[in-house]
Every structure is written in C-alpha cells, then in structure tokens.
Structure 1
Amino acid sequence: MTDTFSQFSVLSLYSAMGLYAVAFILFTLDLSGLAPERLRLARIGLSITWLGFALQVVATALRGLAASRVPWANMYEFAMTGTLMMMLVFLVVNLKWDVRYLGAFITGFVLLALGISATRYYVEVVPLPPALQSYWLVIHVFVATLATG
C-alpha cells in the first residue's frame, strides 16, 4: 500500500508540474501583451494554477501517507512542502488583491524548484532514522518552511 501511495504521489506531482507549466505559459503570454485582450489569459492561468495546487496538495498528502509521517524528512519532501506554501500564499493573496501579474514569476519559480527537486533530490519513502524520530523535527521543519515559503 505504501508503494501505491508513493507512486500516486509522484504521478500527482508530475501532473501538477504540467499544469504549472501551462499556467506559466499563459501568465507569460498575458504579461507580454501579445495575446488579444479578449482572451484574458491570466484568468485562465489562475484557474489552471488552482488545479495544479490541488494536485500538489494531493501529492504531498499521499507522500505523507506513504511515509506514515509528516513529509518533511528530506530535501525532496521539503521542496514539495515549501513550494506548496509559496503557491498557497500566492493564491490566497490573489483572492484579496489582483496580483495575477506575479503569476509568471511564481509559477516559473515553483516549476523550476519542483523540477530540480524531482530530478536531483528524489528518494524512495523510507522510515526516519532513530536520530530524527522526535517531535522537534516537526517544529524545526515547520518553522523553516514558514521562513522559506
């Protein structure tokens, strides 16, 4: 069962990255002014970003279920969680103020960070070593995620 959760986590993350790539292209085209005004590419990009965010939440939750712990134990999981927080802040702030013009920069950075973490830092789900089996790990990584996300 753990293997299945892990596989679906990777699949969900790659799907989210694909949606973020499409949103990045739409935000960039809207920002460049090359698209006709009636298309409103930034709105479409924002909708696709919400879908990508939902898939990234699923990917992070499945990774946590596969590991039977909070998914913060290695750089791959930290990057997943950190970029998730960045995207959450962007989407929530966009509900109050219109900051769609930042969409190209945010989705581009998140896509780059997820791509690097998926190719360079990915590790299979393994139990935590005894030295890290402490409640301090959760506190430490939570504060670090808040600081970077």
Structure 2
Amino acid sequence: MQDPFKGFNDDDGNNNGNGPQGLPLPPNYATVVNPKTGNMRIAKVGFSWTMFLFHPFPSIFRADWYNLLCIIGVELGLQMLFFLLVPLNDRAAASSVVELGIAVLWGAIYNLMYYRHLFTRGFVPADERSRDLLTRAHYWKPQD
C-alpha cells in the first residue's frame, strides 16, 4: 500500500508504527489498547479541529458518552452564567465572542479529555511510538 504520509515516517522509517492492518498513521495520531478486552482506539493528539467546528459531534461519533455529558453540563453552566451576567441589550454582540471562546476551549482540551478517560478505563499505549507521543504531549504519565 502506498504511504499517504510520505516524509512523516519516524526515525526508523516504519511508517509511524503502522496502524491496524498495516495502514499508516499520521504522525500526530496515537493508538491505545485495552489489554483485557483487546479493544483498540486511534485518535489525534493535540488541538481538535472537529471539536472546534462541530462540538459536540466528535464525542457522539466516538461513543464518548462520559465526556459528552461533561461538555453539555459545562456548556449549560456557561450559558446560564452568560444570561445572568450580560445585560439584555449587550447579549447579541457578546454571544458570538462567548461561543468562539467555548469552541476554542473544547478544541484545545477535548482530545486530552478523551485519552484521559480511556486511560481510566484501562487503556494503555499500544506501541512505543504512541507512548512517546502521549508522554511528550502530557496525555500519558509513565507508570513508575
């Protein structure tokens, strides 16, 4: 199979550790696996553009119900706070700024939230490349 990520291979030239069935992974994606069930998840490490643009749909598509409920709860709380603190005649202008701020917040932290929840469910990095990527991004804390 042709590698669509040419030039992004790791130092050993092994197509970023190869994903499932030998498919290459982009350099900023990590693979985690649950050793008890064999369940494997692959997701991006870093800013989530899909969460920035389409929140909360990425959590629905990943079946990440825990984080979806957290996101809905935080958004409802922020909306209530917004309506309590911002006067009625200023809401139109401030609403777009608040929505942009919320979108940037979820884009910045959603992938971290997703991986941390997987780790609490027993998932661990599937290979050394994923472990290094998750450790460098401070998503995974090596076990001593």
TM-score by length of 2: 0.30
Structure 1 or 2, whichever has the larger Rg, is 2
The structure that is helix-richer by fraction is 1
